[in-house]
Amino acid sequence: MSFSEAVRRVSSFEPGAGRLKPRASSTSSTRTVSLDGDWMFHLVPGLRAMTPGFEAPAFDDSAWTVLPVPGAWQMEGLRAPDGTLLDHGQARHGRPAYTNINYPFPIDPPHPPDANPTGEYRRTFDVADLGDADWVLRFEGVDSHLTAWLNGVELGWGTGSRLPTEFDVTHAVREGRNVLAVRVHQWSAASYLEDQDMWWISGIFRSVSLIERPSGAIGDHFVHADFDHETGEGILRVETDVTAVVDVPELGVVGLPAGESLRIPGVGPWSAEAPRLYAGVLRGEGESIELRIGFRTVRVVDGLITVNGSPVRFRGVNRHEWHPETGRTLDPQTMLADVLLMKQHNVNAVRTSHYPPDSRFLDLCDEYGLWVIDECDLETHGFGQVGWERNPSADPMWRPAYLDRIERMVERDKNHPSVIMWSMGNECGVGDNLRAMAEWARRRDGSRLIHYEGDYDSPYVDVYSRMYVDLDELALIGMGADERTVDPRADAHRRSLPMILCEYAHAMGNGPGGLAEYEELFDRYPRLQGGFVWEWIDHGILQRTAEGPNTGQLFYAYGGDFGEVLHDGNFIADGLVLPDRTPSPGLLEYKAAIAPVLLSIDGDGDGLTLAVRSRFDHVDTAGLVFSWLVEEDGVELGGGAVEVPPVPPRGAIRVRLDDAVADLARDASGEIVLTVRAAQAKERDGVPAGHEIAFIQRILADAQQGDFARRVPVTVSADGYRVGDAVFDPDGRLTRLGDLPVLGPRLDLWRAPTDNDNAWQGQAKVWRDLGLNRLEHRVVRVQPEDDELTVETVSMAAGREAGIRTRMIWSAGPGGELELRLHLSPVGRFDTHLAALHHDSARVKRGTVPRLGIRIGLPGGEGTLDWYGLGPGENYRDSRLAARLGRHRAMVADLQTPYVRPQENGNRGAVRRAEIFWPTGDRLRVTAPSGVNVTLRPWTSEALDAARHTTDLVPDGRLWLNLDLAHYGLGSASVGPDAFPAHRLYPHTCSLLLRLAHVR
């Protein structure tokens, strides 16, 4: 292929040439030769450097590199030839690059840049006994432009990275040795359609296979399997392009001619809650195809999305395909791990953002039960940076490429019962090409709904879809009272549609907060049929440090770590699971928020009742078991089963709890907590028996608080003060508690900003402007009085007048316990100074603070925290549904959440009592009768704030204990709303009672 022809192709509006028509993915009886494995690979910097004649069978590629297929060359290049991870900064085949919206090349459509890395691949394979069959070469996914040759014969070229491409190779394949050559360009005109907030990586990243097509083979097939919820009948019809019959032995169907409909009584319908599949076979003269049939009907009825006659609620996630070592190349075990994690965390739906996934993932959604919005491989978000000028969605020259992409997605995935919506793409602006896609999809498949979020008039879709809507507007949408357009007809149409949030609750870093408030609105307004959290996984890339204090340790890289000129930092790390698929606290919170049963406990000592409200849409609660547990100060007193009759879908019931519950609470002196759990009765759809689905707690009796022991006098010396066993310096700072050296408490208003705090809608810029990260502390007075030591300070930042007056009143009992009565009150004005910076007086507003509390420095080492409060995981004021009141224990290292970019983490709220243990046998006991927020770290908040990666964090020889009255909420401001008003923290007068004791 000449240079000029290569330039023409990579700049063409056309999606390809020489390809076969798209068809459904299938498991067939015919021969398939997998071409996955080791290929020879050569990377050149651009089209002018292409290797002449590399496609010739006799070409000598012995000097080339061996590269595994499937895989992305940038990801594989981060490892040595023997597979070991290279040090960060080393790479053999280019580097990954991350942008969210911006194209990493000039916006000059349809032309790609001259700097166009091009991968040349060669693979030798053998085929025995070709017979008289035709043969097809199938690529499941190649990014972004491929040209293929077999035995020196050009087959054609194609684009559409995350969609299959097939070529007829009958004329080129040989018995015996064959040589397949593929040239892949990283950039092409198609790259303008693939700006999907992800790493830009390239190559043959999905499987390649050679497929036999004997005479009479089935070219394509379409399984129509509707369910009549009124009669309980399934309606089966299978379309093919050849004469064939259908067998479904379990239903007694034998020899049903393709094209004919059959009503089958008594079938089990398919839903995400009960994914009933029937095994079938489509038999043609030359081929048999396995069928997995799920009977279900999707409709919009009275403005609601229904499946099998019942409205549905989406408790979903947006899922990119990602693995920290292989990129978008996932093996079956990884895909299954995703599905099982979703099912075990109450997730029932997936939006395949923003492209069709590996089709094997959809097989798993069919099998285990997940609603799927299948999204086209399309996003043009970068044109928004130039006012959507020349956006392909509105340019007729691009229409063939748009239609090609929707056709290839629909045809590949049309037989998956889990797929209930076709999405036209994501963030592509508006334009008639999108309408043309929707019209084509509706003509081809009227059994599914049409989705696209970016056109708010919603003229050609079946669902009104939005992103990151705040609560006030969402309530208006739920009531049908929102108005967006000047065209009353368009506005009325949009308000008649069901509504979903295709993205909300941005899960970047520590967050999201406020999930409970969204769920409350979804419950209140039927029109709001749920949403999809952005997103499933942090797209970190596993790296190993090459220098610094943690040389050789592993960390996860993000945008900018590979020298990108243009990048969007750690915005790529915004998932509910960490890069290694460890559930984040955000996923645990989401699980609790979207629990399919809502539990509440009512009543008093005369009798307690459990209310169970089902959020299931299609199944009752017969598959769940319920139990109760009573604890005193975290110690179990007793428990038992709760007999709950099956609750129908969306139904409710009340049952009386065992009288033993109240009996256990009567004579106790501690805090009595009742916990009721709903768990899986037996394994189902990947959720094991005994797995907790939901829980509720109620405090039945408060702890009886005793008076503080008789106080001992304060003694004064030249070196400072002594209060019982506690020693203070002349400035009133605690230096020793018994034998335990302490860097005494000081006011702390700062936290290492979360990703949400740092966002443009977040609060970090306000906090920094107020100087909360650089407070200076002035001692106002140190006053000993009999049995109390009063220490008063004022804390402010240089150049600012806003601060906090802190009054600490210390006293001690004869047993060595030290009591602190802490009083905080704001001084000065907390108005932000951002107005002066922006010359906009309207920006003057009352400033918030990230935390209100104190910090204490303790001896370092391998400490352990044992606490009675909320846990076991971290929790914050707008993210504590998953936390339960009880007794918990963890090593200091395990108290930290290793977010890809270090930030505030690890808080445990409502802590009544805590003990810190050291290997030396020392213990520090902390008591807070009204509850306190506790964090314990081997580094300061300032060090946490300065770190870019987890490997930047080095223990500084102390443990830093924060005891806080309150924190600012987490919110979702990295894209969505900031913490909701009830969860914001403003400077205010407040008090806290603490007791400290050193115990050996």
Contact (CB, 8 A) for 609 and 653? no
What b-and-e string marks burial along 714-733, b requiring 16 or more CB atoms within 10 Å of the CB?
Answer: beeeeebbbbbbbbbeeebb
Tokens of 798: 């240089």
Contact (CB, 8 A) for 887 and 867? yes
Q: How far is CA 738 from the centre of its chain?
A: 47
- β-sheet bridge partners, residue 208: 139
Question: 386 burial class (0-12, 13-18, 19+ CB within 10 angstroms)?
Answer: exposed
Longest Cα pair distance anywhere in the chain, in angstroms? 105
Contact (CB, 8 A) for 148 and 155? yes
Contact (CB, 8 A) for 970 and 876? yes
Active-site position among 166, 273, 453, 503: 503
Q: What are phi and psi of 189, to 5 degrees?
A: -55, -35
Q: Are strands 145-150 and 176-185 parallel, antiparallel or unpaired?
A: antiparallel
Q: What are phi and psi of 519, to 5 degrees?
A: -60, -35
* Catalytic-residue membership of 321: no
Tokens of 406: 């929707």
Q: Which residue has the tokens 């063409």?
A: 12
CA–CA gap between residue 280 and residue 285 (Å, rounded)? 17
Contact (CB, 8 A) for 621 and 644? yes
CA–CA gap between residue 573 and residue 559 (Å, rounded)? 9
CA–CA gap between residue 943 and residue 671 (Å, rounded)? 37
* Catalytic-residue membership of 503: yes
In 670-750, at which residue ranges do the beta strands (DSSP E only) sit?
Answer: 672-680, 692-701, 714-717, 720-723, 726-728, 734-737, 740-741, 743-748
CA–CA gap between residue 555 and residue 65 (Å, rounded)? 27
34's enclosing H/E stretch is: strand 32-34
Tokens of 335: 């895909």
Q: How far is CA 405 from the centre of its chain?
A: 26
CA–CA gap between residue 635 and residue 632 (Å, rounded)? 5
- β-sheet bridge partners, residue 304: 301
CA–CA gap between residue 64 and residue 60 (Å, rounded)? 9
3-state secondary structure 937-972: ECCCHHHHHHCCCHHHCCCCCEEEEEEEEEECCCCC
- β-sheet bridge partners, residue 415: none
Contact (CB, 8 A) for 847 and 766? yes
Number of CB atoms found within 10 A of residue 257's CB: 12
Active-site position among 194, 407, 427, 874: 427
CA–CA gap between residue 299 and residue 226 (Å, rounded)? 11
CA–CA gap between residue 359 and residue 378 (Å, rounded)? 17
Residues known to be catalytic: 427, 503
